[in-house]
């Protein structure tokens, strides 16, 4: 069952932040009530800059059952956690230091390993924490994604052979077309098996690619972001008017 994407267009980046953060917290509350845990995969780029400050506002922070959250990464750069290019480092600065998620429930990539070893180790973490049935894919409650101006999402880039991966859950990226070149990313089957997927895009720099993703009748290979189609879940885009081409 493939569900069409719902597009939420917000007037400003600030309103986008409010709307997207509110949706994240609703999904988290629902998962916590039903399963006593909330599993979410974060991405890098501007995603945490948009969501992080809103999630830690005191008016919201004290109402969230942070102890139920388990944090994973849709993708991560193979850099030290202290690096400004680390997705973990950004999330730590903007989110984790301000809330009470148990540190052993923040499942960071091992930054002492190379991409190949780190990908294998991270898949083992997914197996251990999420514990899917034998032969089944892990089912995250939420995957949060951005989109690059070339249509990439997570660290899945256009024309990459990794777009065809169907067996592995986590794969190394050894030659990403933008630095850092060594990365680790979830594969499309794992992303598409999530209960909820949210794309967040803001600013005029995303206008062209947002328009491209939602054009119909194009005779070209699909962009990585277009291949994000939940098998049995909810897909929503949160964009501001500048990205949507309205402003």
Residue 210 lies in a domain: no
Is 239 part of any domain?
A: no
Domain count, the chain: 1
Query: Would you state the pLDDT for residue 227?
Result: 96
pLDDT at 50: 95
In which band, very low, low, confident or very high, does the pLDDT at 116 lie, cut at 50, 70 and 90? very high
Where b means 16+ CB within 10 Å and e means fewer, 9-21 reads bbeebeebbebbb
Is 245 inside a domain boundary?
no
Provide the pairing of β-strand 75-77 with 183-186: antiparallel
Q: Which residue range is the domain that position 166 belongs to?
A: 6-183+196-202+227-234
Q: Looking at residue 217, what is its pLDDT?
A: 64
* Structural tokens at position 35: 């399963």
Does residue 58 surpass a pLDDT of 90?
Answer: no
- The CA distance from 152 to 160, in Å, is 10
Which of 12-16, 70-74, 213-217, 223-227 is least confident?
Answer: 213-217
**Does residue 104 lie within any of the structural domains?**
yes
Model pLDDT, residue 168: 97
Kindly report the CATH number assigned to the domain that includes residue 174.
3.40.50.1360
Residue with tokens 């949210």: 198
Within 13 Å, how many C-alpha atoms sit on residue 232's CB side? 4
Q: State pLDDT tens for residues 163-180.
A: 999 999 999 999 999 999
Q: Longest C-alpha distance within the chain, in Å?
A: 49
pLDDT at residue 141 is higher than 50: yes
Find out whether the peptide bond into 180 is cis, omega within 30 degrees of 0: yes
| Confidence label for 59 from pLDDT (cuts 50, 70 and 90) | confident
Band (pLDDT 50/70/90 cuts) for residue 231 is very high
In a domain? residue 207: no
pLDDT at residue 38, rounded to an integer: 98
Q: What is the mean pLDDT of residues 109-113?
A: 95
| Average pLDDT score over residue span 110-116 | 96
Q: Is the pLDDT of residue 191 over 50?
A: yes
Q: What is the pTM of this model?
A: 0.95
Give pLDDT, residue 214. 87
Q: What is the pLDDT confidence band of residue 45, given thresholds at 50, 70 and 90?
A: confident
Q: Is residue 156 part of a domain?
A: yes
Q: Is 168 within the bounds of a domain?
A: yes
pLDDT at residue 2 is higher than 60: no
Within-domain flag for 136: yes
């Amino acid at each position: 069952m493939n569900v069409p994407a719902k597009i939420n267009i917000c007037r400003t980046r600030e309103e986008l932040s409010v709307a997207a953060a509110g949706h994240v917290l609703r999904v988290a509350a629902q998962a916590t009530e039903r399963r006593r845990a909330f599993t979410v995969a974060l991405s890098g780029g501007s995603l945490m800059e948009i969501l992080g400050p809103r999630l830690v506002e005191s008016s919201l922070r004290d109402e969230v059952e942070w102890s139920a959250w388990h944090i994973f990464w849709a993708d991560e750069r193979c850099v030290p956690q202290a690096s400004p290019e680390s997705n973990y480092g950004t999330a730590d600065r903007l989110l984790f230091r301000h809330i009470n998620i148990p540190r052993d429930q923040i499942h960071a990539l091992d930054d002492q390993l190379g991409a190949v070893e780190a990908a294998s180790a991270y898949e083992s973490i997914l197996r251990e924490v999420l514990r899917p049935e034998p032969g089944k894919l892990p089912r995250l409650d939420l995957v949060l994604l951005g989109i690059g101006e070339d249509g990439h999402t997570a660290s899945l880039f256009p024309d990459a052979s990794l777009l065809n991966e169907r067996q592995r859950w986590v794969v190394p990226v050894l030659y990403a077309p933008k630095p850092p070149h060594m990365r680790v990313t979830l594969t499309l089957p794992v992303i598409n098996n999530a209960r909820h997927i949210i794309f967040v895009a803001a600013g005029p720099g995303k206008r062209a690619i947002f328009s491209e993703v939602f054009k119909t009748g194009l005779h070209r290979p699909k962009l990585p972001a277009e291949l994000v189609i939940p098998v049995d879940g909810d897909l929503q885009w949160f964009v501001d008017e500048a990205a949507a081409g309205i402003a």
